[in-house]
């Protein structure tokens, strides 16, 4: 099973899934936790180029292609082998982030960015996508309150950009209702973790 976690900045998706991972491991499932961009040495190198605050000259299409390149390498080296071995892969961000950030917020077009990603992923889609929905004002305030979280090049975009990201994610959830579950990430931590666990367990039991 391939599960992806999506949402605007500061949605708390990484923390929210911790309890679910522990529970699934107790139940005997083998879990691979990973993230995009990154997750393998080559993909982490691409991540550094994409998110470097010094790279202010980066063109939007270059950005979309680098995310897709990082994704491809990560699929080949990590995701596909783990799925083949019957493991559950839980990945922070995937194609939907490219559709929302580059397609929607950067204005490249959802379907244009989708095409690049169909080439990169050979049509590999998650079984479940958890969308941690939160107003950007709240998410960005969380980031700035968290001293451990490094601020990256995309965090520095204006509020209008982050609003477009959120709207695009919500539109994607409507477009792909079979795999999307929306989680209200503005709730307290325990409630978000509980909703996350329920969404994963109910999909596993399907």
User: Which residue of 4, 43, 98, 196 would you call a contact of ligand TMP, by CB under 6 A?
Assistant: 98
CB of 101 to ligand TMP, least distance (A): 3
> Rule CB under 6 A: is residue 92 a binding residue for ligand TMP?
yes
Phi first, then psi: give them for residue 165, nearest 5 degrees: -60, -50
Long-range contacts of 116-121 (CB under 8 A, 24+ apart): 116/64, 116/65, 116/68, 117/68, 117/71, 119/68, 120/68, 120/69, 120/71, 120/72, 120/75, 121/71, 121/72, 121/75, 121/95
CB of 86 to ligand TMP, least distance (A): 25
Helix H or strand E segment including 24: helix 18-26
Q: Which stretch binds ligand TMP (CB under 6 A): 72-80, 97-105, 132-140, 174-182?
A: 97-105
Number of residues that bind ligand TMP (CB under 6 A): 13
**Are 165 and 100 a contacting pair, CB within 8 Å?**
yes
**29-58 binders of ligand TMP (CB under 6 A):** 35-37
> Rule CB under 6 A: is residue 104 a binding residue for ligand TMP?
no
**155-184 binders of ligand TMP (CB under 6 A):** none
> Rule CB under 6 A: is residue 133 a binding residue for ligand TMP?
no
User: Roughly how many angstroms between the first and final C-alpha of the chain, as a whole number?
Assistant: 12
> Rule CB under 6 A: is residue 195 a binding residue for ligand TMP?
no
> Rule CB under 6 A: is residue 101 a binding residue for ligand TMP?
yes
């Amino acid at each position: 099973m391939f599960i992806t976690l999506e949402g605007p900045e500061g949605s708390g998706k990484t923390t929210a899934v911790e309890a679910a991972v522990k529970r699934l491991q107790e139940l005997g499932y083998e879990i691979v936790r990973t993230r995009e961009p990154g997750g393998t040495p080559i993909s982490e190198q691409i991540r550094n180029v994409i998110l470097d605050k010094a790279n202010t000259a980066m063109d939007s299409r270059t950005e979309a292609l680098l995310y897709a390149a990082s994704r491809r390498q990560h699929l080949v080296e990590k995701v596909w082998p783990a799925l083949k071995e019957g493991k559950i892969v839980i990945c922070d961000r995937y194609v939907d982030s490219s559709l929302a950030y580059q397609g929607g917020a950067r204005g490249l077009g959802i379907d244009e960015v989708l095409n690049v990603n169909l080439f990169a992923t050979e049509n590999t889609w998650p079984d479940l996508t958890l969308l941690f929905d939160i107003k950007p004002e709240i998410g960005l305030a969380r980031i700035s309150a968290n001293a451990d979280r490094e601020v990256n090049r995309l965090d520095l975009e204006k509020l209008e950009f982050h609003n477009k990201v959120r709207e695009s994610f919500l539109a994607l959830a409507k477009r792909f209702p079979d795999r999307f579950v929306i989680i209200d990430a503005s709730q307290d931590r325990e409630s978000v973790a509980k909703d996350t666990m329920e969404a994963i367990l109910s999909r596993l039991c399907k």
